[in-house]
């Protein structure tokens, strides 16, 4: 085996590893299924590799932050949402969802202004429906 064969083997192995890492990053950062799923932009701090997602269902609000191994998931029942604040910057917005217990709020960075407004509207819609039933 000569140097050329060795270099070709190393290049193929490096390309395979790079391909696997790229697939893993894309797979972990994919949008979850659902009507009210909001994916943060990869152009913002903290979302470059694995963008966070806000998942809203009729019963809860979930902030999902993928990591290299596992994920960080914070949920808040719709009845425990106290307030929603939107901080709009030049391009992207931050959404702060506070709970009635005063515990750590869900903080979502890097959403478009339109998505931030949709997040707030969806939560308010589901809260209205929740309290009409009870």
Q: Which CATH class is domain 31-133?
A: mainly beta
**Sheet of 37-39, strands arranged across:** 37-39, 53-56, 60-66, 71-77
Please check the confidence at residue 102 and state whether its pLDDT lies above 80.
Answer: no
Q: What percent of the chain has pLDDT over 70?
A: 99
Task: Evaluate whether 110 touches 41 at the Cβ level (below 8 Å).
Answer: yes
Q: Tell me what pLDDT residue 1 has.
A: 62
Q: What is the pTM of this model?
A: 0.84
Rounded CA separation 57/36 (Å) = 7
**Which pLDDT tens digit goes with each residue over 57-99?**
999 999 999 999 989 999 999 999 999 999 998 889 999 999 9
Q: What percent of the chain clears pLDDT 90, i.e. is strictly above it?
A: 69
């Amino acid at each position: 085996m000569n140097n050329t064969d060795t270099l070709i083997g190393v290049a193929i192995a490096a390309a395979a590893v790079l391909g696997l890492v790229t697939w893993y990053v894309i797979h972990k950062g994919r949008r979850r299924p659902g009507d009210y799923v909001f994916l943060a932009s990869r152009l913002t701090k903290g979302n470059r590799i694995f963008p966070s997602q806000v998942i809203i269902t009729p019963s809860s609000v979930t902030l999902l932050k993928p990591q290299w191994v596992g994920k960080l998931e914070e949920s808040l029942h719709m009845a425990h949402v106290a307030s929603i604040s939107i901080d709009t910057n030049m391009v992207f917005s931050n959404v702060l969802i506070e709970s009635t217990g005063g515990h750590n709020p869900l903080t979502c960075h890097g959403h478009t202004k339109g998505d931030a407004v949709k997040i707030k509207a969806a939560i308010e819609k589901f809260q209205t429906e929740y309290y009409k039933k009870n």
